[in-house]
Amino acid sequence: MRVPTALLASFLAAQPASAQVLGGTVLDSASGKPVVRARVVVLDSAGRGLFAAVTGADGKFSFHLPSAAEYRVRVSRIGYPSRITEPIDISRAVSANVLVRLASTPISLDTVIVVAAPVERRPQFLVDAGFYRRQRMGFGHFLTRSEIDRRDPLILSDLLQGMSGVRVTCTGARRCNVEMRAARSMSLRGICRPSVVLDGVMLQPGGVGTLGDLGLDDLFNPFNVEALEVYPGPEGVPVQYSGYASPCGAILIWSRR
């Protein structure tokens, strides 16, 4: 069957124009192997990015472009310098294929310095005793083992020196009395002794009077202390130790394990 020439021309003109296809392959210039997951961007004549894709395991890419024109392709991948191809004219072709070779030249990066904050070791028995919860509440003074080591005390009362609400008076190399602020605020006479609690058990009741033969420095070696809680007044003493509290506050000592 013969179709008139004019009718055939009219039929072809009515068909939608095929989209222009721009495809290609990205290879390593040294090994010749495909470059996987390279980023490929199609640029128009003004250098604007139009479409982007990532190469597969075979290093191939493909774009369907809206119109015939002159395009460039920009290819980048970590470990390779970026490359932009020469203009690709696909105005007379339905499709075009390009081969892009990337040189695997090492890229120098700025030095990265990572500083890790020290992680505090938290003994489980202190967690269970509520030491860290009370520390967050902010009543009293708290010393952990790392802080005790930094102070490098010779005797336990060395750790109390300079604490607000606490006065340490020494009469000899290892003879120091500990007095709390309550003695002054309540106009009490004599030395106001804090209660002393070791691992939740009261060793010395607090009160007003003179110290006995055994003081804190006689009873405790700072090397054997894991943590210390010092409450200069009764208002901050934990509820579970309220029976041990005195107007002179309390010292809670947690032994090293």
Residue 110 is inside which H or E element, if any?
none
Q: Tell me the pLDDT of the chain averaged across its residues.
A: 80
> In this structure, what token pair is assigned to residue 147?
């802080």
Instruction: Please count the other Cβ atoms lying within 10 Å of the Cβ belonging to residue 156.
Output: 24
Q: What is the pLDDT of residues 157-174, one digit of tens each?
A: 899 988 888 888 887 766
pLDDT at 68: 85
The single-letter DSSP state of residue 5 is: H
Q: Which residue has the tokens 């004219």?
A: 89
Reduced to 3 states (helix: H, G, I; strand: E, B; else coil), residue 128 is: helix
Q: What is the pLDDT of residues 55-86, one digit of tens each?
A: 999 999 999 888 888 899 999 998 888 999 99
Structural domains for the chain: 19-102 (2.60.40.10), 124-255 (2.170.130.10)
Q: Measured between alpha carbons, how far apart are the two ends of the chain, in Å?
A: 103
pLDDT at 210: 44
Distance CA 197, CA 184 (A): 23
pLDDT at 2: 45
Is pLDDT at 118 greater than 50 in this prediction?
A: yes
Q: Which of 52-56, 125-129, 131-135, 183-187 has the lowest mean pLDDT?
A: 183-187
